[in-house]
Amino acid sequence: MENSKSKKSIGEILSALTIAVLFLVILLLVVFGARSYQHGAESQYANDTQRVVCAYIATAVKDNDGGEVTPMEFDGFPGISIADGDTGFTHKIYLADGALMEEYTKADMPVNPQAASKIGQTRQLQIRYISDDLLEIKTDKGVSYVNVRR
């Protein structure tokens, strides 16, 4: 009988050990799956942010309906002014404290980064005309070129 009890005890121990190993494997799969998902989500966010920063100014310039597009500095912040026709308002996009900001204000008003909308993160913004109607936009995320309608 003792032999039967020891076989039962060994069987119970092996069953418990098998369940513990399966539980550990499932737990590791969940942890690695969650980390993999987190890494994928972070990469997608970084890619989306990069595309937003690179394309936002180009899209704003393309959507311009013939207003004057002028690269300029706003109180020491590099940026671009896109005039809104004859309304006296302008779309101002500029770099302030490592962020691309935008405001829609009267042309003669100074920029106000505290009241502006944040578009995305970038450490660099250079905008210049490289020909009469070709605008070059450089950020630390890349370079875009836009044909400006005049």
Q: What is the pLDDT of residues 22-62, one digit of tens each?
A: 999 999 999 999 999 998 888 887 776 667 777 888 888 88
3-state secondary structure 93-106: EEEECCEEEEEEEE
Q: Which residue has the higher pLDDT, 21 or 85?
A: 21
Q: What is the pLDDT of residue 19?
A: 94
Bigger pLDDT: 103 vs 132: 103
Q: Identify the pLDDT of residue 7.
A: 66
Average pLDDT, the chain: 87
Q: Which of 44, 3, 33 is nearest to 11 (CA)?
A: 3
* Per-residue pLDDT, 120: 85
**pLDDT for the residue 110:** 93
Residues whose CB is less than 8 angstroms from the CB of residue 5 and which lie 6 or more positions away in sequence, other chains included: none
* Pair 108, 100: CB distance under 8 Å: no
pLDDT tens-digit profile of 90-125? 999 999 998 999 999 998 999 999 999 998 888 899
Nearest to 129 by CA among 65, 46, 71, 72: 71
**Phi/psi at 86 (5° precision):** -100, 15
pLDDT of residue 84: 86
Residue 146, both tokens: 């836009």
Distance between CA atoms of residues 99 and 123, nearest Å? 7
The whole-number pLDDT of residue 60 equals: 87
Pairing of strands 134-139, 125-129: antiparallel
Confirm whether pTM is higher than 0.95: no
